[in-house]
Chains A and B, each alone.
Chain A
Amino acid sequence: MNVLHMRLKTPDDLDKLRDDIRQKQEKDKSFLAVCGGTGCSSSGSEKVREVFQQYLNRHNLKKKTTLKFTGCLGLCERGPVVIIFPQGIFYQKVQESDVEEIIEKTFLKGEIIERLLYQDPVNGEKFIYADDIPFLKKQKRILLGNNWLMEPTSIEDYISLGGYQSVVKALTKMTPPEVIAEIKKARLRGRGGAGFPSGIKWQECYDAVSKQKYFICNADEGDPGAFMDRSLLEGNPHSVLEGLIIGGYATGASEGIIYVRSEYPTAVKNVKTAIAQAENLGLLGENILGTGFHFKISVSTGAGAFVSGETTALVAAVEGRLGEPRQKPPHLVERGLWGKPTVINNVETLANVPYIISYGAENFLRLGTEKSGGTKIFSLVGKVNNTGLVEVPLGMTLREIIFDIGGGIKNGKKFKAVQTGGPSGGCLPVSLLDSPTDFEKLNSAGSMMGSGGMIVMDEETCMVDIARYFLRFLEDESCGRCFSCREGISRMLEIVEDITRGKGSVEQLELLKELANVVKDSSLCGLGQTAANPVLATIRYFEDEYFAHILEKRCPAGVCRDLIRFSINEELCQGCDLCLKKCPGEAIRGEKRQPHTILGDKCTKCGICLETCKYNAVVKI
């Protein structure tokens, strides 16, 4: 049975197809899931999969099991990850050489291979089953959960897991206003940044009078430190399509556009494949499942501009013009893509829609907080032990996410701050660790939800440097149209750079605050209006670090290049010559077996000596 040659004409056809697939898959209930997410791929999971495939072929095990190259499983730090079903045995950091052992021992005999098990970074406890691992146990994976059960580009897998059920339900049992009412009731808020209630957006578009309306899925994930949209599109593209179809039905749009950034080639490929599959089956296109609803989806790739994620700029970019934001009003429901009413929703927002329609708003609400329902995917990265994607109910505290799921700070260092909301957000200090992560709390703390990047920082991260980092990012990514944003960011950067060089003054810090507030007030689009947040938030919580740079000319975290220097502790130095050989600036002098010294004027402060020294003799002052 090749589903690509079928065409489903009624909802019953889909049910029948699902039963057929399930029946077929029943007999090979056991399968091996090799994570094919970006993280695992770069640690070599593709090779691992190849070796698995070869081994299974060679030993005629193909009938006993299926090999699935899945989307991102979330625990990217421990890649490549392999899970053996139906038991759910979780192996991490699997190398090509481990494949034979896994099949022979675990798969055929059920024995556990100790060294491949996940070990808790804090207490050293080992876990066998995926569901027991604290990283996964505390999560609520309604969006990412299917990732490890299916191949991203297999529509059979998706349908057998209950895919496209919600489209059937919406199209056959609900009217567009009912769908919108359900979304409103679920209090679904945009997951892309601002957190605008999606139901209201949909309602406005539904109310707009026009023959042609558009529904755009914003997959121009530009926030540095966030990659959940990438994982959703790469790992489960059909769920996004499903959300988009329902959105189109509810708002009266007949055309959907997915705007993906060009940095995600696999996402583009998988989405295109998924669209072709859905079209072939009659789940997209003319008269979907015989319900009389027409909807087509196309993919538009971005050309690399962070500001294009702003809704009005995104429309301009899809139209192929300069991706510059414009003044709102007119809003997009009045004048959107090609002048027609348009709704833009983020990838994750749309991926939530099938769940809400299938399981109802009550179940969705039960997951979140009072004001906003559901889960949120965070990309937990930075100086934390378990980096990766985590999906948790809205309202979970930062402490639970960072310490329980994330396993605490790397190398036993002290937690300093967590950055949320990308370049529009801010850094939250220890005192806010117990505050829940929802839209309101993060906003009132001077940060924001943003798209869900959560960058953990330890005592070796300089907060002034972080402010400098974001300003540099924004200086580059601003479109440059408004003077307040273009020149304002550049001048803020000028002041912050002076501070990191030890050339700042208290007056300049005051000027920085004044300027930050004006930039926030007077810029045209969201990028400019939030550009000052990283500065204001770091000043708000870490003013002492600014003062250390200004008054004492000292960088407490040891990051700012002009305020640190490297030196060698003569008592510890064994004169092994390792650092001398590695030093790219030829700044280290000394006879063999004699203590070495670093010549300050030649030192490029790259830190290679510190990294290579085996005796901890190199110190940063």
Chain B
Amino acid sequence: MINLTLNGMEIKVEKRTTLLEAAKFYGIEIPALCYDEALSPYGACRLCLVEIGTGNHSRLVSSCTYPARDGLIVRTHTERVIKARKLLLELYLATCPSSRTIQDMASKHGVTTVRFKQKNEECILCGLCVRMCAEQMQGKAIGFVNRGIKRRITAPFAKKSEECRLCGGCMYICPACQARCQGPQEENPVCNACLNLSPPCLDYFQEAMCYMDPCVACELGTGRKAKFTY
């Protein structure tokens, strides 16, 4: 077992546990776009940042790839972390506004303006599809090509891959195209519309009767605009 400090708590975790897994286990929520339990961690989206160490030597690391180590001091919600996370979300919105997942996450973290020029990318290069294809489907049909700003995900020579079995795993796991946001078509890339939904059960009961997040009714579009906005 490994002993470490997480947000001030002394905790014990199994060997080979990552900081993200440890935080999850102890009920601390850390956002991430490129992480999936079933796939190997990749550390590309940088949203799961946590601060390790103290004083001048503290630094931010991606919790999904950082292994728990004895004596490590981890803080998941420091000012530095939140600031970085918010700006990154703003960048995500400016790059790929049509993703419902990103819009939801931005709303949840209180990102309400975008100061960068608007792009309309379809892909955030989180690599979930690449890992899904290789690790779960044994496909190896798609991968990263080029580097830097020219980096893309594609099949070899941008032609239909012989390895591809059309299983659809890549589309299933994609945070950018799986749930496309119908939201803002106008100038403003932030809609915050999803925030304004409230479960329809509140019409009949004084408290919400289920704890599904997000609410299935809302997901289906039968939820209504809330009386109180947050």
- The answer to whether any beta carbons of A and B sit under 8 Å apart in the complex is yes
In the complex the two chains form, what is the Cα distance from A327 to B44 in whole Å?
A: 11
Task: Given A511-B115, A522-B88, A524-B62, decide whether A483 and B69 contact each other with a Cβ distance below 8 A.
Answer: no
Q: Mark B95-136, 1 if CB is under 8 A from A, else 0.
A: 100000000000000000001110000001110000000000
Say yes or no: is B38 at the interface (Cβ < 8 Å to chain A): no
Q: Which residues of A are found within 8 Å of B92, using beta-carbon distances? A: 483
Task: Give the residues from 494 to 519 in chain A that come closer than 8 angstroms, CB to CB, to chain B.
Answer: 494, 507, 511, 514-515, 518
B117 shortest CB reach to chain A, Å: 6
Residue of B nearest to A514 (CB): B87
| A489 and B148 alpha carbons, distance in the complex (Å) | 9
Contact A483 to B44, CB < 8 A, known contacts A327-B61, A491-B116, A522-B60: yes
Nearest chain B CB to A18 CB, angstrom units = 48
A481 at the A/B interface (Cβ < 8 Å)?
yes
Q: Is the CB of B151 within 8 A of A480?
A: yes
Choose one: A326, A476, A488, A524; the contact of B91 (CB below 8 Å): A488
CB of B65 to closest CB in A, whole Å: 4
- A233→B57 CA distance, assembly (Å): 36
Task: Given contacts A307-B147, A478-B149, A511-B116, list 13 more A-B pairs with CB under 8 A.
Answer: A305-B147, A322-B144, A477-B147, A479-B147, A481-B44, A483-B44, A483-B45, A483-B125, A484-B46, A489-B149, A490-B149, A522-B88, A524-B43
Nearest-CB distance from A184 to chain B (Å)?
22
- Cβ of A486 < 8 Å from any Cβ of B? yes
B49 at the interface (CB under 8 A from A): yes
Residue of B whose beta carbon sits closest to that of A510: B115
**Residues of chain A at the chain B interface (Cβ within 8 Å):** 305, 307, 322, 326-327, 329-330, 474-484, 486-491, 494, 507, 511, 514-515, 518, 521-524
Judging by beta carbons under 8 Å apart, are B91 and A486 in contact? no
Chain B residues lying within 8 Å of A521, measured Cβ to Cβ, are: 49, 59-60, 80, 84
Determine if B46 and A478 form an interchain contact, defined as CB atoms under 8 angstroms apart: no
> Which B32-85 residues have a C-beta within 8 angstroms of A?
42-46, 49, 59-62, 65-67, 69, 80, 83-84
Interface of A is mostly: helix
A424 to chain B, nearest CB (A): 16
Contacts of B67 in A (CB 8 A): 329-330
Residues of B within 8 A of A522 (CB): 46, 49, 60, 84, 88
What are 5 contact pairs spanning A and B, CB under 8 A? A326-B43, A479-B148, A483-B124, A487-B91, A522-B46
Interface readout for B133-147 with A: 1 if CB under 8 Å, 0 if not?
Answer: 000000000001011
Which residues does chain B contribute within 8 Å of A479, judged by CB atoms?
A: 147-148, 151
* Chain B residue, CB-CB nearest to A481: B44
- A483 to B33 alpha-carbon distance, docked (Å): 11
Chain B residues in 8 Å Cβ range of A483: 44-46, 88, 91-92, 124-126
Q: Which of B43, B144, B151 contacts A327 (CB 8 A)?
A: B43
Residues of A within 8 A of B87 (CB): 514-515, 518
Neighbouring B residues of A474 by C-beta, 8 Å: 148
With A486-B125, A490-B149, A522-B49: A327-B88 Cβ-Cβ less than 8 Å: no
Q: Indicate if B150 sits at the interface (CB-CB under 8 A).
A: yes
Q: How far is the CA of A601 from the CA of B224 in the complex (A)?
A: 58
User: How many B residues are at the interface, by size bracket?
Assistant: 35 or more
Query: How far is B115's CA from A381's CA once the two chains are assembled, in angstroms?
Result: 39
**Chain A residues in 8 Å Cβ range of B148:** 474-480, 486
**Complex contact B146–A518 (CB within 8 A):** no
Kindly name the residue among B44, B92, B95, B149 whose own CB sees the greatest number of chain A CB atoms within 10 A: B149
Looking at the assembled complex, report how far the CB atom of A430 sits from the nearest CB atom of chain B, in whole angstroms: 29
Give the distance in Å from the alpha carbon of A448 to the alpha carbon of B62 in the complex.
25
Cβ contact within 8 Å between B116 and A482 = no
* Contact call A482/B146, Cβ cutoff below 8 A: no
Taking the closest CB of chain A, its distance from the CB of B69, in whole angstroms, is 7
Instruction: Select the residue from B60, B83, B148 with max chain A CB neighbours within 10 A.
Output: B148
Q: Which A-chain residue is minimally distant from B152 (CB atoms)?
A: A480
Task: Name which of A486, A487, A511, A521 has the most chain B CB atoms within 10 A of its CB.
Answer: A487
B151 touching A486 by the CB < 8 A rule? Answer: yes
Please report the C-alpha to C-alpha distance between residue A346 and residue B83 in the assembled complex, in whole angstroms.
Answer: 36
Contacts of B91 in A (CB 8 A): 483-484, 487-488, 491, 515
Most chain B CB within 10 A, of A322, A475, A481, is at A481
A480: chain B residues within 8 A (beta carbon): 125, 144, 146-151
Q: In whole Å, how far is A8's beta carbon from the nearest beta carbon of chain B?
A: 46
Query: What is the bound-complex CA distance between A318 and B170, given in angstroms?
Result: 31
Q: Which residues of A contact B94 (CB under 8 A)?
A: 491
Q: Which residues of B contact A514 (CB under 8 A)?
A: 87
B128 to chain A, nearest CB (A): 13
Asked if B44 and A482 make an inter-chain contact with CB atoms under 8 angstroms apart, the answer reads yes
Are A518 and B149 closer than 8 Å at their CB atoms?
A: no
Q: Of B42, B46, B144, B146, which one neighbours A523 at CB under 8 angstroms?
A: B46
**In whole angstroms, how far apart are the Cα atoms of A490 and B116 in the complex?**
11
Tell me the smallest distance from the CB of B52 to a CB of chain A, in Å.
11
In the bound complex, residues from chain B placing their C-beta under 8 Å from that of A489 are 149
Determine the residue in chain B with the shortest Cβ distance to A523: B46
Task: Chain B residues near A511: list those with CB within 8 A.
Answer: 115-116
**How far does the alpha carbon of A307 sit from the alpha carbon of B94 in the complex, in Å?**
26
Q: What CA separation (Å) do A518 and B43 show in the bound complex? A: 16
Q: Are A329 and B95 in contact (CB under 8 A)?
A: no
Question: How far apart are A216's CB and chain B's nearest CB, in angstroms?
Answer: 22
Report chain B residues within 8 Å CB of A507: 115
Q: Which residue of chain B has the shortest Cβ distance to A494 in the bound complex?
A: B117
B147 contacts A327, C-beta separation under 8 Å: no
What CA separation (Å) do A482 and B44 show in the bound complex? 4
Give every chain A residue within 8 A of B126 (Cβ-Cβ): 483
In this complex, the member of B42, B46, B144 whose beta carbon has the largest number of chain A beta carbons within 10 angstroms is B46
A contact residues around B62 at 8 Å (CB) = 327, 524
A482 close to B46 (CB less than 8 A): yes
Residues of B near A488 (CB, < 8 A) are 91
Contacts of A477 in B (CB 8 A): 147-148
Contacts of A322 in B (CB 8 A): 144
A74 → chain B, closest Cβ, in Å? 34
Give the distance to chain B from A500, nearest Cβ to Cβ, in Å.
Answer: 16
> In whole Å, how far is A98's beta carbon from the nearest beta carbon of chain B?
47
Q: In whole angstroms, how far apart are the Cα atoms of A181 and B162 in the complex? A: 57
